[in-house]
Amino acid sequence: MNQRQINQLEMMHSTNLYLDSNSQVWSAIPIIPAYKNQLSQAIEGIRLAATDQHAARVFIGASLHELKVRVAEKMDIMDDVLEAYADDTENVELITRVGNSKSEYLRLPHEDFETKTKNIIDLLEEHVGDMADYGLTQDQIDDVKLTFGSFQDKRNKPRSYQIASRIATQSITDLIREGSNALEKLDRVMKRFKRSNSTFYHGYTAARSIVND
């Protein structure tokens, strides 16, 4: 990777992390998870393609704990949606399996964390078609799968979910272009927050800025 690509990648990564940490602001707007998932897939493809490149060491060096926190934050939000659906449909069996908070996920040993996360993801996918009115989309599920896969990679464990082969085989140049396209789509949608949530919007634009070395 050349320096320009590294700078673009770090900006994409910063933007993705900012969206992760503020998902409660945008998660109920269906089109945003779709665009964010495109960005996450491009970043993950670059991560895999650049694993052996020394230039990507900062990006690839996310700690196991950081990845666990990111997965737990995403699961917390979707777990709440699944719990609401279970309550409304009086699905007693489902009620007993959901309602896990971020802190409950994080307290689990890594092995139990992986098992719990996979089980809930499988439940989400089983019921996603019935939860459109609750703001849950397949794109949100696919996004957490990518982060979960990175967590398992960091533990040197087999991935529970593979990224799309199309992404896995694209070149870094193509993936950066795909990530940039996703960001342009996000930029247009994020303008809705310019007045309604200016703090979030300005944080987003700051994360979107490329820092040139």
With tokens 């495109």, the residue in question is 38
- State the average pLDDT over residues 130-142: 86
Query: What sign does the CA torsion over 76, 139, 146, 86 have?
Result: positive
Higher-confidence residue of 43 and 211: namely: 43
Backbone phi, then psi, for 128, in 5-degree steps?
A: -60, -35
Task: Spell out a b/e string for 99-112, using b for 16 or more CB atoms within 10 Å of the CB, else e.
Answer: ebebeebeebeeee
Residue 103 has pLDDT above 90, yes or no: yes
> Per-residue pLDDT tens for 55-101?
444 455 568 888 899 899 989 988 988 999 999 999 888 888 888 88
Phi, psi of 212 (to 5 degrees): -90, 125
CA–CA separation, 46 and 194 (whole Å)? 30
In this prediction the pTM is 0.75
- For 102, the token pair is 């971020």
Give the model confidence (pLDDT) of 147-191 as tens digits.
898 899 888 888 888 777 677 677 888 899 999 999 999 999 999
Tens of pLDDT, residues 17-45: 899 889 889 987 889 989 999 999 898 88
Give the per-residue pLDDT at 213. Answer: 54
Look at residue 50 in the predicted model and tell me its pLDDT: 73
Domain borders along the chain are 3-207
